[in-house]
Chain A
Amino acid sequence: MALPEVKQTATEARLANLVMPDAGCTRAAREDALARVLEMGLPGRRDEYWKYTRPDTLVAPEAPRAALFDPDEAMLFADLDRLKIVFVDGVFSPEQSDDLTLEGVTIDRIEDICFKDIHWAKELYGVLEARGQSPVQRPLAALNTAFAADGIAIHVSGKPSKPISFIYRHASETSDAMLHHIIRVESGAEVTILENGPAASRFNKCMEIDIADGGVLHHVRAQGRDHERRAATHMFTRLGQESVYKSFTLTVNGVLTRNEQVVELTGDDAVAHVAGACVGDGDFHHDDTVFITHDAVNCESRQVFKKVLRNGATGVFQGKILVKEGAQKTDGYQISQSLLLDDDSQFLAKPELEIYADDVACSHGSTSGAIDETALFYLRSRGVPTKEATNMLTLAFLAEAVDEIEDDALSQAIVDRLEGWMSRHS
Chain B
Amino acid sequence: MIPLSSGSSSQTATLAEEVEMCKLFAARVSLGNSPRGPSEPGRECLGSLPCRLIQRLCSRVDARTIKLVSMTDAPTQIFTAKKVHTMDPNEPFATAVAVQGDRIVGVGHRDDFLHFPQAEVDERFGEKVLLPGFVEAHSHVMSGALWEFPYVGFYERTDPKGQVWSGCQDVDSVLQRLTQCDQEMVDPDQTLVAWGLDPIFLQGERLVAKHLDQVSTKRPIFVFHASGHLATVNSEMMRQSGIDQHTPTPGVAKDDSGTPNGELQEPAAMSLARDGLATIGIAMMSSEAKWNYALEARNCGVTTAADLGTTRLAMEGQLEAWRQTTDHPEYPIRVVVAFGHFDSDGTPANIRDMAAKAAHLREHEESEKLRFGIVKLVLDGSIQGFTARISHPHYLDPPPGHPGNGLWLIPPEQMPDIVSAYHQAGLTVHCHCNGDEAAQVFIDAVDAALQTHPREDHRHTVQHCQLTTEQQYKKMSQLGMNANIFANHIFYWGDQHATITVGRQRAEKMDGCATAEREGVKFSIHSDAPITPMGQLHTVWCAVNRLTASGDILGPDERIGIHKALQACTIDAAHQLLMDNEIGSLENGKLADFTVLDNDPYEVEPEELKNIQVWGTVVGGVPFQAGSE
* A interacts with B: no
> B residues within 8 Å of A by Cβ?
none
